[in-house]
Amino acid sequence: MFSEFLQYLFTGITIGATYALIALGFTLIYNASHVINFAQGEFLMIGGMATVSLMAMGVPMLLAIILAVVLAGVLGILLQRFAIAPAKQADVVTLIIITIGASIFIRGLAQLVWGKEYHVMPNFSSDEPIRIFGAVLNSQSLWVLGIGAILVVGLVLFFTRTLIGKAILATSMNKEAARLVGIRTQLVLMLAFMVSALLGSVAGVVVAPITFTSYDIGIMLGLKGFVAAAIGGLGSGVGAVVGGLLLGVVEAMAAGYISSDYKDAVAFSMILVVLFFMPRGLFGAKVVERV
Amino acid sequence: MVNRFMQSRLRDLVFLAIILFALPAFLSNPFHYDLATQMAIIAATVVGLNLLVGFAGQISLGHAGFFGLGAYFSGIMTGSYGWSSIPALLVGAVLVGIIAWIVGRPILRLKGHYLSMATLAVGFIIAIIINNETWLTGGPDGMPVPSLDIFGWELSPFGSYSLFGMELDGNQAWYLFAALVLLVAVWFAQNLIDSPIGRALRSVHGSEVAARVVGVNTASYKSLVFVISAIYASLMGGLYAHFQGFITPAVAAFDFSIVLITMVVLGGMGSTMGVILGAVVLKLLPQVLADFQELETVMFGLILMLTMIFMPKGLLPTIQMAVSKRMKKKAGGQA
C-alpha cells in the first residue's frame, strides 16, 4: 500500500519538477511581456532532440547538452526579435496565434531535420534504479530534481543579485519607467525569452531519458506547463514551482488510483476547480483594474 | 436608395449568396464539392465563434469540444438509437447550450489568459471523454454516422436529386444545402450583432467596467453569447457528422479548437465576412501546400506567423483598409 503510494509520489514529483521548469519559462516571458508563449514546449523538444542527435554524431554527452541548450537559447532570441517584437501593438489573441504559428514552424523544421521517429536518450548516470521502502526510483529522477532545484535557486539569485535580472524585473513592472532610467527594454525582452528558452531546453534534456523524445513532444508538455503556471497564478515564480509539482503529483495519483486514460482529464479538471475558487491561481497577484 | 442598400447589412449577405451560388461554376469534381461543403460548415461554426471572440472579446481555445459534442450526439442518437436527424440536432444543440451555460457562468468571470486556460481545459476534458468511452463513441477508431434525413427526405453524398429540373448528384446537393445553412448562420449573426444584445456585447469588448457602470449586465450577456456560439458549434458539428458519414475524436480535439480560433483571428476578428474568408483560406492552405510535401508544416507555420505579424487585424479588414485608403487618395487627386 505505502510502497505503491510512494511509487506514485516519486513519479509525480519527477514529472512535476519538469512541469515546474516549463511553467517558470511561461512565467518569465509572461512577466516581461504579458505574452503567453505557446511555443514554450518546442524549447523542450529542441533540448532533447538536439542532444540526442549530437550524441549520435559522436559528441560527448555534456558538450551535446550544452550545444543543444545554446541552440534553444538562440531560438528564443530569434523568436522574440522576429516574431513577437514586430507585433507589439497586436491583440492578446493575435499574439497567441503568432506563437502558435511559431511552434508549428519550429515543429515542422524539427520534423524535417530529425524525422518523425521516437528517439531514446541514455540516463545521465547508472541505469541501476534505487529502492526505497519497496518503491523504485529511477536515478534520472534525482538528476531531474537536482538540476530543477539548482535552476530555481539560480533564477532567484539572478533576479535578486544581478543587474540584468533586476532590469528584467523593472521592465516587467513598468516598461516606460524602465526605459526612463536607461534600461534598454527591447534587449531585456530578448534576454527574458532567451532565459526562458534555456530553462525549457534544460527541462527537455533532463526528462528525455525518462519520457523518450520526438519532434512533437513539445505540444503536450508545453500545455501542461501552461496549466501549472495558471494553477500557481500567472506571473508568480513560487506559483509556477508549486503549480508544477502539484500538477505532477495529482496526475500521477490519478493515473495510479483512478485510470491512466483519465489522468489528463484530472489535470484539466484541477485547473478548473482552482480557477473557480481562485480566479487568479494560487499565488496570483491581486490586480486592481485601472479604467 | 441603392446607396442605402449597399451600406446595409443586406449587402454582405447578398454578396455572400452570389459567391456561394456562383461557385459551382468553378467546381469540377466531387472532391471540390466535398471541400466546399466542409468549408461552408466550418465557416458557419466560425461565424458563431466570432460572436464570442470578435464581438464580446472573450477567448475560447476549446470550441472544438462543443463541435465534437454536437457531432457525437447526432451520430450516437441517429446511429445507435434510431432517432431521426432533426430532433437529434436540436436536442443536441439544447444540451450543448445547457452545458455551455453551466460551465460558462463561472469561467467567463475569468479574464484574458485564465479564460483561455479554462476554455482549453473544458475542450480537453470533452475530447478525453470522447476518446475513452469506447462503448458509446467507438473511441479513437471513430464511428459511422447515418446520412442526414430531413423529415423522411434523405440527403446523402451518394444520392441523386433533381431541383427545378436540374439533375444534381449527392455532393452537389449537399453543397447547396450547406451554402443555405451558412447564409442562415450569417443572417442570424448579423441580426444579433445589430440588436441591443449586440451593442451590449460590443460595449463589453470595449471596456467591461464602463459597460457595467452604464448598467449593462455584462455577466449574463457574456454567458448568453457563449451559449449561442456553442450552439452554433453543436449544430454544425451534427451536420458535419452526417455529411462525412464517419467521425473520429479529431472533431473535438485541441488542434481543431486552435484551427477554429485561428480562422477567426486570421480572417479578421469582428468581421463576419472576414472570418468566413479565414475559414476558406485555412482550409485551402493545406491543399495548396501539399505540393511542398515535407515542407508543408514549415510553410504553414511560417505563413500563419507572417500574416499575423504584418496583418494583425486579419486578412479582410487589412484589405478593406488598403482599398479604402487607395480610393480616398484617388478621390483627393481628382478634386
**Nearest chain B residue to A109, by CA:** B298
Amino acid symbol at B2: V
Residues of A in contact with B254 (CB under 8 A): 223
Contact B106, B100 (CB under 8 A): no
Distance of residue B118 Cα from the nearest chain A Cα, in angstroms: 6
Give burial (CB, 10 Å; 0-12/13-18/19+) of A227: buried
pLDDT per position as a tens digit, A154-167: 988 988 899 888 88
The confidence score (pLDDT) of residue B334 equals 52
Q: Is the pLDDT of residue B301 over 70?
A: yes
The confidence score (pLDDT) of residue B226 equals 94
**Nearest chain B residue to A230, by CA:** B114
Contact A188, A168 (CB under 8 A): yes
Residues of B in contact with A79 (CB under 8 A): none
The confidence score (pLDDT) of residue B259 equals 93
Contact A96, A36 (CB under 8 A): yes
pLDDT per position as a tens digit, B83-98: 999 999 999 999 999 9
The confidence score (pLDDT) of residue A49 equals 94
- Write down the mean pLDDT value for chain B: 89
Q: Do A100 and B128 touch (CB under 8 A)?
A: no
For residues B59 and B114, give the distance between their C-alpha atoms in angstroms, rounded to a whole number: 10
The confidence score (pLDDT) of residue A286 equals 64
Residues of B in contact with A227 (CB under 8 A): 117, 121
Q: Is the pLDDT of residue B135 over 80?
A: yes
| Cell reading at B149 | 434525413
Domain ranges of chain B: 15-296
Distance of residue B272 Cα from the nearest chain A Cα, in angstroms: 17
Q: Is A90 on the interface with B (CB under 8 A)?
A: yes
**Nearest chain B residue to A278, by CA:** B110
Residues of B in contact with A291 (CB under 8 A): 207, 209-210
CA distances from A178 to A156, A172, A173, B38 (A): 20, 9, 8, 51
- Give the residue-averaged pLDDT of B16-32: 90
Q: Work out the pLDDT band at B276, boundaries 50, 70, 90.
A: very high
* Identity of the residue in B131, B262, B309 whose CB atom sits nearest the CB atom of A87: B309
Q: Is A101 on the interface with B (CB under 8 A)?
A: yes
| Cell reading at B19 | 459567391
* H or E element at residue A137: strand A135-137
- Give the residue-averaged pLDDT of B74-89: 94
**Nearest chain B residue to A39, by CA:** B301
Q: Is the pLDDT of residue B128 over 90?
A: yes
Q: Is A215 on the interface with B (CB under 8 A)?
A: no
Amino acid symbol at B160: S
Residue B144's beta-bridge partner residues?
B246
* Identity of the residue in B106, B298, B303 whose CB atom sits nearest the CB atom of A112: B298
Residues 6+ apart with CB under 8 A from A40: A22, A25, A26, A29, A196, A200, A218, A222, A225, A226
Which residues, numbered 265 to 284 in chain A, qualify as contacts with chain B under a Cβ-Cβ cut-off of 8 Å?
265, 268-269, 271-272, 275-276, 279-281
**Nearest chain B residue to A263, by CA:** B128
pLDDT (tens, 9 = 90+) of chain A, 291 residues, equals 788 899 999 999 999 999 999 999 999 998 888 888 999 999 999 999 999 999 999 999 999 999 999 999 999 999 999 998 888 778 888 888 899 999 999 999 999 999 888 888 888 887 778 888 888 888 889 999 999 999 999 988 988 899 888 888 888 888 888 889 888 888 888 999 999 999 999 999 999 988 888 888 888 899 999 999 999 988 888 999 999 999 999 999 999 998 888 888 998 999 999 988 888 888 876 665 555
Q: Is the pLDDT of residue B1 over 50?
A: no
Q: Work out the pLDDT band at B335, boundaries 50, 70, 90.
A: very low
Q: Do A230 and B269 touch (CB under 8 A)?
A: no
Q: Do B312 and A89 touch (CB under 8 A)?
A: yes
CA distances from B208 to B23, B82, B211, B214, B327 (A): 41, 46, 5, 10, 36
pLDDT per position as a tens digit, B172-226: 999 999 999 999 999 999 999 888 888 888 887 877 888 888 777 888 888 899 9
- Give the residue-averaged pLDDT of B301-307: 90
Distance of residue A48 Cα from the nearest chain B Cα, in angstroms: 20
Whole-prediction pTM: 0.91
Size of interface A-B (CB pairs under 8 A): 136
Q: Do A108 and B301 touch (CB under 8 A)?
A: yes
**Nearest chain B residue to A103, by CA:** B301
Task: Give the ipTM.
Answer: 0.89
* Identity of the residue in A97, A265, A268 whose CB atom sits nearest the CB atom of B308: A97
8-state DSSP, A213: B
Q: Is the pLDDT of residue B161 over 90?
A: no
Which residues, numbered 68 to 87 in chain A, qualify as contacts with chain B under a Cβ-Cβ cut-off of 8 Å?
83, 86-87
Instruction: List the single best residue of A268, A276, A278 to mutate versus B (max B Cβ within 10 A).
Output: A268
Cα B293 off chain centre by? 28
**In which region does residue A254 sit, left (phi positive, over 0), alpha (psi from -120 to 50) or beta (all else)?**
alpha
Q: Work out the pLDDT band at B131, boundaries 50, 70, 90.
A: very high
Contact A197, A42 (CB under 8 A): no
Domain ranges of chain A: 14-229
Residues 6+ apart with CB under 8 A from B112: A92, B59
**Nearest chain B residue to A227, by CA:** B117
Q: Work out the pLDDT band at B133, boundaries 50, 70, 90.
A: very high
Higher pLDDT, B298 or B159: B298
Q: Do A279 and B110 touch (CB under 8 A)?
A: yes
- Determine the Cα angle at B96 with ends B91 and B100, to 5°: 150
Grid cell 454536437 — which residue? B70
Q: Is the pLDDT of residue B4 over 60?
A: no
**Nearest chain A residue to B125, by CA:** A265
Residues of A in contact with B286 (CB under 8 A): none
The confidence score (pLDDT) of residue B291 equals 83
